[in-house]
């Protein structure tokens, strides 16, 4: 589910991708990667920023608002160590 904060983040990514990467990942190697990609070509910086935003939205759906920490490289980990249910794959058969 897309929230208004995600829409603002996407608009920031369209205008200046490293700013969006900094908002999502903080001062990490992802910010440096995004700066380099934006310098090499404006379009690769956009792709990387949108990918970071997408991964953040996935973590919010899986762990809930504020229930995760950023681990780097687009990976998020839950704050508490609860087991979160995952959706079964398509064509999965329960053999029980």
pTM comes to: 0.76
| pLDDT given at position 48 | 94
Where does the chain have alpha helices with state H? 4-15, 17-25, 29-40, 42-63
User: How many Å apart are CA 64 and CA 46, to the nearest integer?
Assistant: 26
User: How many Å apart are CA 5 and CA 14, to the nearest integer?
Assistant: 14
Count of residues making up the chain: 96
| pLDDT given at position 91 | 56
Give 64's pLDDT tier (boundaries 50, 70, 90): confident
Tell me the β-bridge partners of 68.
Answer: 78
Q: pLDDT for 9-54, tens place per residue?
A: 999 999 999 999 999 988 889 999 999 999 998 899 999 999 999 9
Give 72's pLDDT tier (boundaries 50, 70, 90): confident
């Amino acid at each position: 589910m897309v929230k208004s904060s995600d829409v603002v983040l996407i608009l920031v990514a369209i205008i200046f991708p490293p700013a969006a990467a900094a908002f999502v990942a903080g001062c990490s190697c992802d910010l440096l990667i995004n700066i380099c990609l934006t310098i090499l070509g404006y379009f690769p910086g956009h792709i990387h920023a949108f990918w970071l935003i997408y991964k953040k939205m996935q973590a919010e759906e899986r762990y809930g608002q504020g229930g995760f920490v950023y681990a780097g490289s687009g990976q998020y980990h839950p704050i508490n160590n609860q087991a979160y249910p995952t959706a079964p794959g398509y064509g999965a058969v329960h053999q029980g």
